[in-house]
Amino acid sequence: MTDAHTTGPFIAAIDQGTTSSRCIVFDKDGRIVAVDQKEHEQIFPKPGWVEHNAAEIWTNVQEVVAGAIAKAGITPADVKAIGITNQRETTLLWDKNTGEPVHNAIVWQDTRTDALCKELGRNVGQDRFRRQTGLPLASYFAGPKVRWLLDNVEGLRERAEAGDILFGTMDSWVIWNLTGGTDGGVHVTDVTNASRTLLMNLHEMRWDEKILQSMDIPSAVLPQIRSSAEVYGVAKAGPLKGVPVASALGDQQAALFGQTCFSEGEAKSTYGTGTFMLMNTGHTPVNSYNGLLTTVGYQIGAERPVYALEGSIAVTGALVQWMRDQMGLIKSAAEIETLASSVEDNGGAYFVPAFSGLFAPYWRPDARGVIAGLTRYVTKAHIARAVLEATAWQTREISDAMTKDSGVELTALKVDGGMTSNNLLMQTLSDFLDAPVVRPMVAETTCLGAAYAAGLAVGFWSSTDELRANWRRAAEWTPRMDAATRDREYKSWLKAVQRSMGWLDDES
């Protein structure tokens, strides 16, 4: 996407994602000037294991940066800063003398550390480190993956203790390479990525010595924790040689930033295969008693960090794909709206897509999917409607949990992601939340967030207020459902959720 009307200067954002690496060039209004993207291989060595080749990823990152700069038809002098956003929790260890990874990166989805996490929980269980880190002990996070690598790659622990090995999430890997690699690369991570390791103390923004000891991870491998928006170094080579590398944010935090959720109580929800909702809770980390994660939202330079509550829904867009691929009820994902719009309501049917158990706020691995309330009256169109409603109700449940934990009522929900093109879903979401749902004009909020943070760090943008002024509403849906209907429907949904629980007899 190029546009002859835009002129420099620009910010380049690199999004090192789970399936691909992308580079987007933004202008001062936050408009997209050029995009380049390249997918990388998903490596599945065993069931439940997922790896990436970090060397391939670094090559791809260099290519997409060169590609985007070429498409934009600009020079390094036009680019004021580089921002980084990345797939979170994916873990890599590499040799600082050769720059070579000692093993493939272990991807966030990888479950090989399930048993290790149980062991680390000892008699306390999942919540052993929650007070310090805001997270439950789960295979999802980086710390246990580091430990697994140290235990399983031959001779690695000795090399790590001797100070020859570096650990990083993908932000660290990209920044270290960009800033020179073996030739003076800086070994840093930002607070948002560090907050997903299970190793950082949320209150002090420092690696937690006690947890490091419990997990048996030598502190010599750890990157320095920095803010999300500051100059870490400059690009040492390539098409952006000499340009400051000035931001790093985990992808969901970057989307929060790109959606300009800078005030306490502001929230965004990204609708993809699954859904991630984050709410800004201001300068205090809010403990969750309702199954949410406490995480760092962002930190701009020397300012105080801003915290967030995070809730994830495993199956949203994936349910629509399931209707298309497994059930064959629709030919394309967009058609779900056509089918669902052909009826006025769900006909009494409720679809709880607990395909791999229930996530927030229930955390019930013993649950499985159910369609409840079936009668002879129900058609495939009612089921399609129930499919869309499932995404909306699950969002409502996360939002309720956030309100309970933070005491802040949701005033409006900012949305992004592929499913926001579904008008009926967005209206239903607004109806069920009883709050306005707003879609911004730039769909690429993740890259935009990284660009914004980098631009702030180098003075390209002056303040978060200026970024807010850049934010443009593309569409807004307001609630149309009466309270009595909403309450009745919510009650039915909650009943259906109860029916999904306890399906697996023996949860070991």
Partner 1 sequence: MAKNIQSLERAAAMLRLLAGGERRLGLSEVASSLGLAKGTAHGILRTLQAEGFVEQDPASGRYQLGAELLRLGSTYLDVHELRARALVWTDDLARSSGESVYLGVLHQKGVLIVHHVFRPDDSRQVLEVGAMQPLHSSALGKVLSAYDPVAHNEVVENERKTFTPHTITDVRDFEAVLDLTRARGWAADVEETWDGVASIAAPIHDRRRMPVGAVGITGAVERLREGQDLRGDLVAAVRDCARAVSRDLGASRF
Q: Is 31 one of the binding residues for partner 1 (CB under 8 A)?
A: yes
Query: Is position 5 an interface residue for partner 1 (rule: CB under 8 A)?
Result: yes
Q: Is 29 in the site for partner 1 (CB under 8 A)?
A: yes
466 is an interface residue for partner 1 by CB under 8 A: no
* Tokens 């004021």, residue located: 80
Q: Which of 70, 115, 327, 475 is close enough to bind partner 1 by CB under 8 A?
A: 475
Token digits for 399? 């939002």
476 contributes a contact to partner 1 by CB under 8 A:
yes
Q: What is the distance between the alpha carbons of residues 433 and 304, in angstroms, rounded to a whole number?
A: 31
Of the pair 332, 375, the CB lying nearest partner 1 is at 332
For residues 152 and 423, which CB has a smaller minimum distance to partner 1 in the complex? 423
d(CA 210, CA 199): 9
Of the two residues 32 and 117, which places its CB atom closer to partner 1 in the complex?
32
CB of 505 to partner 1, least distance (A): 41
Structural contact between residues 145 and 170, judged by C-beta atoms closer than 8 angstroms: no
473 near partner 1, rule: CB under 8 A: yes
Nearest approach, Cβ of 420 to partner 1 (angstroms)? 8
What's the one-letter identity of residue 291? G
Task: Of 386, 319, 385, 368, give the one whose Cα is nearest residue 501.
Answer: 368
Binding flag, residue 465, partner 1 (CB under 8 A)? no
Of the pair 20, 132, the CB lying nearest partner 1 is at 20
The answer to the question of residue 332 lying near partner 1 (CB under 8 A) is yes
| Residues 294 and 253 sit within 8 Å (Cβ to Cβ) | no
Looking at the Cβ atoms of 248 and 388, the one nearer to partner 1 is 388
Shortest Cβ 74–partner 1 spacing (Å): 18
Q: Residue 113: CB partners within 8 Å, gap ≥ 6?
A: 139, 144, 145, 147, 148
State the minimum distance, in angstroms, from the CB of residue 44 to partner 1.
27
Q: 92: part of which helix (H) or strand (E)?
A: strand 91-95
Tell me if 253 sits within 8 A of 274, measured CB to CB.
no
CB of residue 140 to partner 1, shortest distance in Å: 30
Beta strand pairing call for 244-250 and 229-234: antiparallel
441 binds partner 1 (CB under 8 A): yes
Least distance to partner 1, CB of residue 6, Å: 9
Q: How far is the CB of 472 from partner 1 (least distance, A)?
A: 4
| Closest by CA position to 293, among listed 252, 248, 258 | 252
Which range, of 165-173, 204-212, 330-338, 379-387, touches partner 1 by CB under 8 A? 330-338
Residue 381 in contact with partner 1, rule: CB under 8 A:
no
Strands lying side by side in the sheet with 105-106: 51-52, 105-106, 91-95, 165-169
- Is 302 a binding residue for partner 1 by CB under 8 A? The answer is no
3 binds partner 1 (CB under 8 A): yes
Can residue 480 be called a binding residue for partner 1 (CB under 8 A)?
no
* Residue 434 burial class via C-beta count within 10 angstroms: exposed 0-12, middle 13-18, buried 19 and up: middle
Total residues at interface with partner 1 (CB under 8 A): 28
Minimum Å gap between C-beta 469 and partner 1 is 9
Verify binding: residue 338, partner 1, rule CB under 8 A: yes
From CA 409, how far away is CA 419, in angstroms rounded? 24
Strand partners, 278: 268, 310
| 362 vs 369: CA distance, rounded Å | 14
Rounded to the nearest 10 degrees, the angle between the axes of helix 251-258 and helix 445-457 is 80
* Residues 412, 475: Cα–Cα separation, whole Å: 13
Q: Is 335 in the site for partner 1 (CB under 8 A)?
A: yes
Strands 437-440 and 413-416: parallel
Stretch that binds partner 1, among 84-92, 136-144, 229-237, 331-339 (CB under 8 A): 331-339
Give the nearest distance from C-beta 8 to partner 1 in angstroms.
17
**Separation CA 104–CA 91 (nearest Å):** 9
Q: How far is the CB of 333 from partner 1 (least distance, A)?
A: 8
Alpha helices in 277-415 (DSSP H): 317-325, 335-341, 380-406
Judged by CB under 8 A, the residue of 138, 153, 205, 333 near partner 1 is 333
**CB-wise, 225 or 384, nearer to partner 1?**
384
Q: Closer to partner 1 by CB, 271 or 359: give it.
A: 271
Of the pair 29, 204, the CB lying nearest partner 1 is at: 29
Sequence letter at residue 50? V
Tokens linked to 414:
């900012």
Considering the complex, what minimum distance in angstroms separates the CB of residue 439 from partner 1?
9
Give the closest residue to 261 by CA, choosing from 309, 304, 316, 205.
Answer: 309
Site string for partner 1, 401-440 (x = CB under 8 A): -----------------x-xxxx-----------------
Q: Could you say which DSSP state residue 163 is in? A: T
The answer to whether 373 and 389 are in contact (CB under 8 A) is no
Q: Is 477 in the site for partner 1 (CB under 8 A)?
A: yes
Binding site for partner 1 (CB under 8 A): 1, 3, 5, 29, 31-32, 331-338, 418, 420-423, 441-443, 472-477
